[in-house]
């Protein structure tokens, strides 16, 4: 089965040599790499041209800077393979990932999407791997196989995996559609939900030799986490609308999924309030578009109290710790 590897690239030309070498090391030979240059201003085009002169499986397309979702969608339209693998230009695949997943699809024609383990590594230290972006050793991935309400429930609980973990049949795009181009964060999470809502049969492949490696760039993690939280609020509002319109779900299923989604939405809202910039009016106004101002104010007061308890005054508790002068008779 031919695999189309879609690689959006915006000013990541410095990683393409490693990326292409990684693909050449794949044990599955029948692949094409579709590089979509999203308006790069670095040497991306020149590096790709140099590689194309010696590797015919690499294809190149350029578009005006339109975002990663638009780049992936262009790649989907240009893909000629039966299977689709997404790969960010700075990330890597295990040598047997493509082969093992392609073999799984051959053995399981009923499966639409198959995903694998993912590991994170700090830029410059590829041999030291973690299960989470913060490199704290925190397991976050869900591992399941199924479809319908069960699959939707798992994806409401958490994102499926990083974007380079799943492989999907190209035929799935015909009824799941394309990536959401207006959403700037968590667009991959929304896409997997689109697939589940469209009835996709999703399987986790418990194969230790099939995994993806995600590069973590230093200095950006904390801001990325908070930005992703903002994006999740938008995503969960979209989920609410989609559940209301899902004809394939029974009303009791919809009600249960609505409750779960709202519970998770309030948890994220609380995290943003407790750890966000409380003195920033634009921040609070943005949150007021998700819940009304009375709710924002209630969480604001709770957040102030949380911070007061978490960061006590340096003088608090020391009032009785002054040395006592001994009085001699």
pLDDT score of 222:
53
Least confident of 77-86, 89-98, 283-292: 283-292
pLDDT score of 289:
83
What are the φ and ψ backbone dihedral angles of 79, each rounded to 5 degrees? Answer: -65, 140
Q: Could you write out the three-class secondary structure of 30-44? A: CEEEEEEEECCCCCH
Instruction: With cut-offs at 50, 70 and 90, classify the pLDDT of residue 200.
Output: very high
Q: Report, in this order, helix, strand and coil percent for the chain, each rounded to 5.
A: 45, 15, 40
Q: Could you write out the three-class secondary structure of 212-271? A: EEEEECCCCHHHHHHHHHHHHHHHHHHHHHHHHHCCCCCHHHHHHHHHHHHHHHHHHHHH
Rounded CA separation 289/284 (Å): 9
pLDDT score of 30:
97
pLDDT score of 218:
64
Residue pLDDT, tens place only, 208-235:
999 999 998 865 455 567 778 888 888 9
The sign of the dihedral angle between the CA atoms of 150, 153, 157, 158 is positive
pLDDT score of 315:
52
Residue pLDDT, tens place only, 141-174:
999 999 999 999 999 999 999 999 999 999 999 9
pTM of model > 0.85 = yes
For the beta carbon of residue 16, count every other beta carbon within 10 angstroms.
23
Rounded CA separation 77/187 (Å): 18
- Bridge partners of 4, per DSSP, are 32, 84
CB of 58 closer than 8 Å to CB of 48: yes
pLDDT score of 323:
40
Over residues 181-205, the mean pLDDT reads: 93
Comparing CA positions, the residue from 48, 69, 53, 55 lying closest to residue 26 is 55
Over residues 80-106, the mean pLDDT reads: 97
Question: Three-class SS of residue 295?
Answer: helix
pLDDT score of 192:
97
pLDDT score of 329:
33
Comparing CA positions, the residue from 17, 25, 64, 6 lying closest to residue 43 is 17
Rounded CA separation 285/55 (Å): 51
Rounded CA separation 45/74 (Å): 17
- Bridge partners of 85, per DSSP, are 5, 167
Question: Three-class SS of residue 16?
Answer: helix
Rounded CA separation 177/191 (Å): 8
pLDDT score of 322:
43
Rounded CA separation 41/217 (Å): 20
Rounded CA separation 14/318 (Å): 54
Question: Three-class SS of residue 291?
Answer: coil
Rounded CA separation 140/181 (Å): 26
Name which residue leads in pLDDT, 19 or 125. Answer: 19
Residue pLDDT, tens place only, 232-277:
888 999 999 999 999 889 999 999 999 999 999 999 988 888 888 8
Least confident of 150-164, 179-193, 282-296: 282-296
Residue pLDDT, tens place only, 52-91:
999 999 999 999 999 999 999 999 999 999 999 999 999 9
């Amino acid at each position: 089965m031919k695999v189309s590897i879609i690689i959006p690239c915006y000013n990541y030309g410095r990683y393409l040599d490693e990326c292409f070498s990684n693909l050449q090391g794949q044990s599955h030979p029948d692949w094409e790499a579709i590089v979509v240059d999203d308006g790069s201003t670095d040497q991306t085009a020149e590096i790709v041209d140099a590689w194309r002169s010696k590797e015919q499986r690499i294809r190149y397309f350029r578009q005006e800077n339109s975002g990663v979702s638009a780049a992936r969608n262009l790649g989907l339209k240009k893909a000629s393979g039966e299977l689709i693998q997404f790969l960010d230009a700075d990330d890597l695949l295990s040598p047997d990932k493509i082969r093992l997943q392609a073999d799984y699809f051959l053995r399981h024609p009923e499966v639409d999407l198959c995903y694998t383990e993912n590991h994170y590594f700090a830029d410059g230290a590829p041999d030291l791997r973690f299960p989470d972006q913060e490199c704290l050793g925190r397991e976050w991935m869900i591992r399941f196989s199924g479809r319908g309400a069960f699959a939707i429930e798992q994806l409401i609980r958490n994102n499926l995996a990083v974007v380079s973990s799943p492989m999907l049949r190209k035929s799935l795009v015909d009824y799941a559609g394309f990536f959401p181009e207006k959403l700037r964060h968590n667009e991959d999470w929304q896409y997997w939900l689109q697939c589940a809502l469209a009835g996709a049969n999703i399987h986790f492949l418990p194969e230790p030799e099939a995994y993806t490696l995600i590069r973590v760039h230093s200095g950006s993690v904390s801001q990325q986490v908070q930005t992703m939280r903002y994006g999740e609020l938008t995503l969960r509002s979209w989920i609410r609308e989609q559940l209301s319109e899902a004809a394939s779900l029974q009303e009791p299923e919809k009600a249960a999924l609505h409750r779960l989604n709202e519970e998770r939405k309030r948890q994220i809202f609380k995290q943003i309030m407790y750890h966000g910039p409380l003195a920033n009016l634009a921040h609070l106004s943005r949150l007021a578009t998700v819940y009304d101002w009375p709710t924002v104010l209630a969480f604001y007061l709770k957040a102030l109290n949380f911070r007061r308890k978490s960061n006590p005054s340096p003088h608090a508790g020391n009032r009785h710790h002054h040395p006592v002068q001994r009085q001699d008779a």
